[in-house]
Structure 1
Amino acid sequence: MNKILGIIMLVMGVSMTGMAQEGFKITAQTQGMADGKMYLISDAADTLAIADMENGAFVLTGKVDVGQVAYIMTADRKGVIPVMLENAEFNVTANAQMVYVEGGAMQSLYNDFQSINASLLQERKRLEKEMQAAMQEQNQMKAQALNQQYEQFMKRAQEAEMNLLKANNNTFVAAYVITQSMQQVSPEFLKERYNLLGDEAKASASGMAIADMIARYEMLEPGHVAPNFITQTVEGDTISLHGIKGKVKILDFWASWCAPCRQETPNLVKLYKNYRGKGLEIFSVSLDKQPHDWAKAISEDGMIWKHGIDPNSQIAGLYCLKSIPCMILLDENNRIIAKNLRGAQLQKKVAELLKK
């Protein structure tokens, strides 16, 4: 009898294993997309499946060895839809208003994360509308109260997300969720979240992307050589960061449309006039997209030092910028001394360095 039961269990095990390894099937129904080829692409840019879309419908099938993030897209990479892919059945609904994917344990987990973000976005929109009304009424007390409400709601949402991360810390989904905001959060917060992940999650494509971003942040810390770059000057020539010579250099990221940047300019003008002869150089890199606006602001504000422009934010990306103005203080060997000093603090540090 025991042998018979053993055989039955063995057969069932083989059967269940076979079912688990059958592969994935993604059935999609869309609106507003032209018919044509649809692709399922992995994080590593491998093509996992191809299907023909007819009347907005298509089915993608295949098999993966491990769970991973994949993206449904057209040949021209439009209408990209992320899927937490594993060997399971998925249903995708997409139109101009929404995209919804269901199917598989990892997709369900990702949807839980998305639900937290959706609630945060909805609450922000609601409070912004009330905030505008309060400002029109010149009701400062109400505006402050609404701002506190949002901060408290955001704190609760972050706590909910953190708890979900901790409970599912060794999944590729947890790593992927962290990548979605890693360029907006502080390096310290990113490291904190990364350290929550298990070894498998860290080894996923998303986990390795987080590790790479942390490494980039660390290379921008004081003591490291600032990454070199070449950009265009107002006159149409090219200029490089490392090509500018000075005992102390200020790398200044700004833009003509940035009010705080323009407010800081008089301090830089004064600083440059006082210390130019003692070895100070300033290199301002603008995020303006229109050269005319950039050149006009330089002239209006009397910015008589060296300038470059970064219209596509490639340099900003190299330096992991989150906001402007951003000032980075360098020594004569282009090593980073300090970051984000402004006004009196910047003047004090420059004076201190040029006395040596």
Structure 2
Amino acid sequence: MKNIFLVAMMAIIFAACQPTTFTINGTIEGVTEGKAILKNIVDGRPASLDTADIVEGKFTFTGTVDEPELYLIFVENNNTPIVFFGENANINIEANANNMQEAVVSGSDITDVYTSFVNKVPGKTRLEEINSEYQKAMGAGDQASQQALRDEANELMEEQKAYFLDFIKNNTNSIVGAYMAMQAISEFDMEEFKALTAEFEANLGDSKYVTNLKKALEPMEKAAAAAMATEIGAIAPDFTLQSVNGDEVTLSSFKGKYLLVDFWASWCKPCREENPNVINAYAEFAAKGFEVLSVSLDRDQDAWKKAIKDDGLVWTQVIDGEGNTANTYGVTSIPFTLLLDKEGKIIAKNLRGEALSHKLSELLN
């Protein structure tokens, strides 16, 4: 019981000793006066938090943060920021106006992790050299050297990517790791990113960076669900939308016929160019059990109705102005089409030109 009491008391004392505010003292060589601007990142962009006067090359910021977060300090007339993680601590910065990215930051344990990561990125210096050498090779018209330098640069960038991803996977208990994961989101497949996000959440709780990871995961999960729902052999998800006459039309009402579900819009030039092919297929196969359901992504109903009339589209037309049905189907570009069998099963995707008629001929002749 004594030991438990002592541990509890030590925890209370330790918590009481933690600073609840930050002080950032900076010295910039090469700047005697002006303004220093402290920024954080909001919705992916720098946002100003505070401004301090630079007096004889020195500036000070004070404040408090709920949790550590990435900070940037800009100096007037200098577009290169000092990058570090702000936390409730006494932080010192020493920088040179001509080389701000090499600023030395002390007093922030989390920044130490970040700085260590940055300093160990492989091939940084060599990539700078390659860039310079490549410019010279271009000027000399030396194609062989350009190709060799591109190959070397690609190898180094692959090495850097591997280093980057290893750091993230080995630092799921760190705010820095969570921040880096957001920067590398495109390098992960959905399942891997989901597992990483779960690890970060288990270790860091409801940190803003964990929240950002979870928000980034949502569209990935929706896209994966849409891809699964529209695989060949899947039953097309049912939906109900308003027709050009104002009636409600349900996808499942077309069962018993081969159906082309055609996502398009009046403003989509490739869609309009494809319409004559669909018209020809409809004219040839409608009497044999083929139907078309065009789903427009137009927001302007007048433009939609005009395009239907101008293009001579005589089959059922519905509108998905909010794009909810398109999202369910994972539509990222149009025209996007699905061919369904009589049971509503997807049997083909994005048949263009004569490919649609050939497929229908196989099925119906």
CA contact (8 A) 1:231 1:240 kept: yes
2:225 is matched by which residue type in structure 1?
A
Cα shift at 1:202: 9.2
CA contact (8 A) 1:251 1:283 kept: yes
1:103 aligns to what? 85
CA contact (8 A) 1:285 1:310 kept: yes
After superposition, residues 324-339 of structure 1 pair within 5 angstroms as 324-339=334-349
2:241 to 228, 231, 248: 231
Distance in 1 between residues matched to 2:114 and 2:292, nearest whole Å: 51
1:351 aligns to what? 361
2:150 aligns to what? none
2:319 aligns to what? 309
* Alpha-carbon displacement from aligned partner over 1:277-311 (angstroms, at most 9, x marks no partner): 11111111111111111111111111111111122
Q: Does 1:165 align with 2:159?
A: no
Give structure 2 stretches of 5+ with no counterpart.
1-6, 25-36, 44-48, 52-60, 87-109, 119-152, 203-209
CA contact (8 A) 2:38 2:50 kept: no
Distance in 1 between residues matched to 2:12 and 2:275, nearest whole Å: 72
2:290 to 280, 285, 292: 280
After superposition, residues 188-337 of structure 1 pair within 5 angstroms as 190=189, 194=193, 200=199, 206=213, 209=218, 210-211=220-221, 213-337=223-347
Change in Cα spacing, 1:309 to 1:211, as seen in structure 2 (3 Å) is closer
Q: Which has the larger radius of gyration?
A: 2
Structure 1 runs (4+) deviating above 3 angstroms are 13-27, 57-62, 89-94, 99-102, 104-109, 153-163, 169-179, 189-199, 201-213
TM-score (norm: length of structure 1)? 0.54
CA contact (8 A) 1:25 1:88 kept: no
CA contact (8 A) 1:251 1:282 kept: yes
- SS of 1:103's equivalent in the other structure is strand
Distance in 2 between residues matched to 1:337 and 1:319, nearest whole Å: 15
Distance in 1 between residues matched to 2:356 and 2:255, nearest whole Å: 19
Cα shift at 1:24: 9.0
TM-score (norm: length of structure 2)? 0.53
Identity score, percent: 32
1:88 aligns to what? 68
- SS of 1:321's equivalent in the other structure is coil
- SS of 2:253's equivalent in the other structure is coil
CA contact (8 A) 1:223 1:336 kept: yes
Distance in 2 between residues matched to 1:281 and 1:20, nearest whole Å: 73
- SS of 1:281's equivalent in the other structure is strand
Compute the RMSD of aligned alpha carbons: 4.9
Cα shift at 1:101: 8.1
- SS of 1:350's equivalent in the other structure is helix
Cα shift at 1:234: 1.0
Cα shift at 1:253: 0.7
- SS of 1:341's equivalent in the other structure is coil
Give structure 1 stretches of 5+ with no counterpart.
1-9, 32-39, 42-52, 63-86, 113-152, 183-188
After superposition, residues 108-127 of structure 1 pair within 5 angstroms as none
CA contact (8 A) 2:282 2:292 kept: yes
Distance in 1 between residues matched to 2:158 and 2:356, nearest whole Å: 34
* Alpha-carbon displacement from aligned partner over 1:111-138 (angstroms, at most 9, x marks no partner): 98xxxxxxxxxxxxxxxxxxxxxxxxxx
Distance in 2 between residues matched to 1:311 and 1:156, nearest whole Å: 46
Distance in 2 between residues matched to 1:26 and 1:213, nearest whole Å: 44
Change in Cα spacing, 1:196 to 1:241, as seen in structure 2 (3 Å) is same
CA contact (8 A) 1:24 1:89 kept: no
Cα shift at 1:26: 12
Cα shift at 1:223: 1.7
Distance in 1 between residues matched to 2:285 and 2:244, nearest whole Å: 23
- SS of 1:223's equivalent in the other structure is coil
CA contact (8 A) 1:26 1:92 kept: no
CA contact (8 A) 1:256 1:293 kept: yes
